[in-house]
Amino acid sequence: MSSDSRLGNARSFNRFDIILSITHFVGFITICLNGYFLNTFKNGLAWPSKVKNGDNKALGKRGDQLHAFLMILAFIYFQGEALLAYRLYRYDAKIISKLLHTALHIIAIGLGITALTVIIMSTNNAGWNNFTSVHSWIGICLLSVYLVQINP
């Protein structure tokens, strides 16, 4: 192997590290900005609650923003990090990349299920029917397909 080809590989790894750092930075900033926006919009990030006023009307926090934030965190940030785990640790022991990849996917699944629970509680507290929109069925299908991919 000539020194020129080794130098080319070193440059390519340097570019990969720079692009990877930028990607992580942009992902972190995106999560922070989404968290800030969703926390300051309407009722903010809150677990859905059912509070009644004197007229027996439900006034509680809805939980829509928490649902959105958890879905963004799960299926954009943690899923992306899980996919990058294989590329990032390709020269380490394979068990390290597999464990990190699995842990990040489990976190994404847990956050997705929590977000689903939040929105079901929110619609139940508001007295609405669950799963009446195309959006909800697409979400259920996405979470189901994501769960089916788990290999025992």
The per-residue pLDDT for 61 is 65
Cα distances (angstroms) measured from residue 106 to each of 33, 45, 69, 84, 130? 24, 23, 17, 15, 25
Q: What is the pLDDT along the chain (152 residues), one digit of tens a residue?
A: 555 555 556 666 678 888 888 999 999 999 999 999 999 988 789 888 876 655 555 555 678 899 999 999 999 999 999 988 877 877 788 888 889 999 999 999 999 999 999 999 988 888 889 999 999 999 999 999 988 887 65
- For 26, left (φ over 0), alpha (ψ -120 to 50), or beta? alpha
**HEC letters along 79-100:** HHHHHHHHHHCCCCCHHHHHHH
Q: What is the pLDDT of residue 44?
A: 85
Distance (Å, rounded) from C-alpha 13 to C-alpha 18? Answer: 9
Distances (CA, A) of 74 to 3, 4, 119, 120, 125: 43, 42, 15, 17, 24
Structure-token match 């923003």, residue found: 65
d(CA 48, CA 66): 9
Instruction: Say what the pTM is.
Output: 0.82
Tokens at 148, concatenated: 């089916």
Q: In whole angstroms, how far apart are CA 1 and each of 6, 14, 69?
A: 7, 19, 49
Retrieve residue 82's tokens.
């899980």
Domains along the chain with CATH numbers: 3-43+61-148 (1.20.120.1770)
